[in-house]
Structure 1
Amino acid sequence: MIRPEVKAGLRRWREALIGAGLLVWGLWWALTAHGYIPWIGWVIALIGLALAVTGVQRGRFRTGAGGLGVVQVTEGQVGYFGPFTGGVVALSDLSKLVLDAGQTPPCWRLRQPGQPDLLIPLNAEGSEALFDIFAALPDIRTARLVAQVSRATSGAQAGQPAQPVVIWERARLRLH
């Protein structure tokens, strides 16, 4: 009954839409109710605002599905199982996260010492779970992460060549 494009758009922006709904509902209670209900409305509005902001970030991170391979995230490990390559990277061993927009399709390049890089296409099934994993990396800037994903997907659609971009790198301990 709902067109597939509309369904995909709603699924992509679901957290942002739920957050906006909670924000409107909370503001309505806060501004029109009496007694203790306005206080509950303000709390609901703040929760809705936080959910909407994170939902926009997640929506911008999601680039779609239907690509080659499957991503699995379990107990501190990211696994990618594709038709030609695959592997597992423990997050504690991850040394560098690179967005390689020069690949077709654009890929995440997860680097760990002593192992070959693990390439994960942005549109692999289950790749939306990577946002939470990447956001948990120490000192990562999620706004930059989301902006680079948007730039990579729009550049790939326009056919523009792009260079790999280092999104995050583990800080090295320096001993004097």
Structure 2
Amino acid sequence: MRQWVRDRAEMLVFAAVFLLGLYVALLGGWFLALVGGCVMVIGGVLAIGAFRRSPFRRPIGAPGVVEVVEGAIRYYGATERGGEIALRDLSEIRLLRVEGRAHWRLRSISAEALLVPADAAGASALADAFTALPGLDMGMVSHALAQVADKDDAIRTVWRRPV
């Protein structure tokens, strides 16, 4: 039970904000209804975002650390090669399975590639970084992440830079 709550803590907090807004809205009066409605909208939007980021949160199982700093994705590999790619230079994101573990393959405009394990420390920050990309569907990314975990040799292209 504790693990379930820990995995969904962010979403549960935002759902509680939504319910607090509902409570305030039902206290009576147009002003409280307006304030409560605003709080409900904020809590609902944040809860949806937390729900979409939930597949990115995985137990740490791969060596290395992922950072997203100033518009750049950095991977410091312990046993694998690391590197850095700026978000503005990304041309393609693929999700693939390498040696039984899901990896993000980030390709730049200049055809450089960075392989980042999906279960490396800090890899959940990629969810927020990916939302800045034009035309990226986070629902499709979450679905691909679930499918790659189920199949042994799955490769999914989840985003390509619009031409």
Q: TM-score, normalised by structure 1?
A: 0.83
- The alignment status of 1:161 with 2:157, answered yes or no, reads no
Q: Which amino acid aligns with 1:54?
A: G
Secondary structure in 1 matching 2:74: strand
1:133-155 Cα offsets, whole Å, 9 max, x none, are 111101111110111112223x1
Measured in 2, the distance between the counterparts of 1:21 and 1:39 equals 18
Question: What is the aligned partner in structure 2 of residue 123 from structure 1?
Answer: 119
Measured in 2, the distance between the counterparts of 1:114 and 1:49 equals 40
Unaligned runs of 5+ in 2: none
Measured in 2, the distance between the counterparts of 1:28 and 1:47 equals 14
Q: When you count strand as a share of all residues, which structure comes out higher?
A: 2
Secondary structure in 2 matching 1:47: helix
Question: What is the aligned partner in structure 2 of residue 22 from structure 1?
Answer: 17
Question: What is the aligned partner in structure 2 of residue 93 from structure 1?
Answer: 89
Secondary structure in 1 matching 2:121: coil
Unaligned runs of 5+ in 1: none
Secondary structure in 2 matching 1:32: coil
1:110 pairs with one of 102, 106, 111 = 106
Aligned pairs, how many? 162
Shift of residue 63 of structure 1?
A: 2.2
- Note the 1:68-87 alignment, pairs <5 A: 68-83=63-78, 84-87=80-83
Measured in 1, the distance between the counterparts of 2:48 and 2:72 equals 27
Q: Which amino acid aligns with 2:67?
A: Q
Q: Tell me, yes or no, if the aligned pair for 2:15 and 2:47 is still in contact at 8 Å.
A: yes
1:144 pairs with one of 130, 134, 140 = 140
Measured in 1, the distance between the counterparts of 2:2 and 2:146 equals 20
Question: What is the aligned partner in structure 2 of residue 38 from structure 1?
Answer: 33
Q: Which amino acid aligns with 1:86?
A: G
Q: Kindly, what percent of the aligned residue pairs are identical?
A: 31
- The alignment status of 1:51 with 2:46, answered yes or no, reads yes
Measured in 2, the distance between the counterparts of 1:39 and 1:113 equals 47
Measured in 2, the distance between the counterparts of 1:35 and 1:93 equals 49
Measured in 2, the distance between the counterparts of 1:67 and 1:10 equals 23
Secondary structure in 2 matching 1:68: strand
Shift of residue 11 of structure 1?
A: 4.0
Q: TM-score, normalised by structure 2?
A: 0.89
Q: Tell me, yes or no, if the aligned pair for 1:100 and 1:107 is still in contact at 8 Å.
A: yes
Shift of residue 91 of structure 1?
A: 1.4
